[in-house]
């Protein structure tokens, strides 16, 4: 039996994986910021942290829009919303 995926399935799956890796990286950054003694390094880490938080919010906002449009699989979108709403700590 051949299984096929729609574009929305692969897009949402990719976004779920991206958000999961963002959450993992945010945790690493928070740990590194906590122990950093170098102001310049801390600044770079904070910049990366803020960029990742913005990206996670973008994905969440897109998922909310898609959920309202009712054009995509609602369960997949709700899962993406759940994953992108989880705390990174």
Look over the chain and give the mean of its residue pLDDT values, rounded to a whole number. 89
The torsion angles phi and psi of 86, rounded to 5 degrees, stand at -65, 145
Q: How confident is the model at residue 35 (pLDDT cuts 50, 70, 90)?
A: very high
How far is 86 from 88, CA to CA, in rounded Å? 6
Higher pLDDT residue, 61 or 74? 61
pLDDT value, residue 38: 97
Q: How confident is the model at residue 5 (pLDDT cuts 50, 70, 90)?
A: low
pLDDT value, residue 74: 87
How far is 85 from 88, CA to CA, in rounded Å? 9
Q: Which stretches of the chain are DSSP H helices?
A: 7-35, 39-69, 74-85
Q: Where are the domains of the chain?
A: 7-85
Residue 86, pLDDT > 80, answer yes
pLDDT digits (tens, 9 = 90+) for 39-71: 999 999 999 999 999 999 999 999 999 999 888
- Give the count of beta carbons closer than 10 Å to the beta carbon of residue 30: 13
């Amino acid at each position: 039996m051949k299984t096929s995926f729609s574009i929305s399935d692969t897009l949402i799956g990719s976004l779920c994986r991206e958000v999961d890796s963002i959450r993992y990286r945010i945790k690493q950054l928070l740990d590194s910021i906590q122990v950093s003694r170098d102001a310049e390094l801390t600044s770079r880490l904070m910049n990366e942290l803020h960029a990742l938080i913005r990206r996670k919010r973008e994905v969440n906002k897109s998922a909310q829009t898609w959920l309202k449009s009712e054009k995509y699989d609602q369960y997949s979108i709700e899962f993406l919303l759940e994953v992108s709403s989880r705390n990174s700590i």
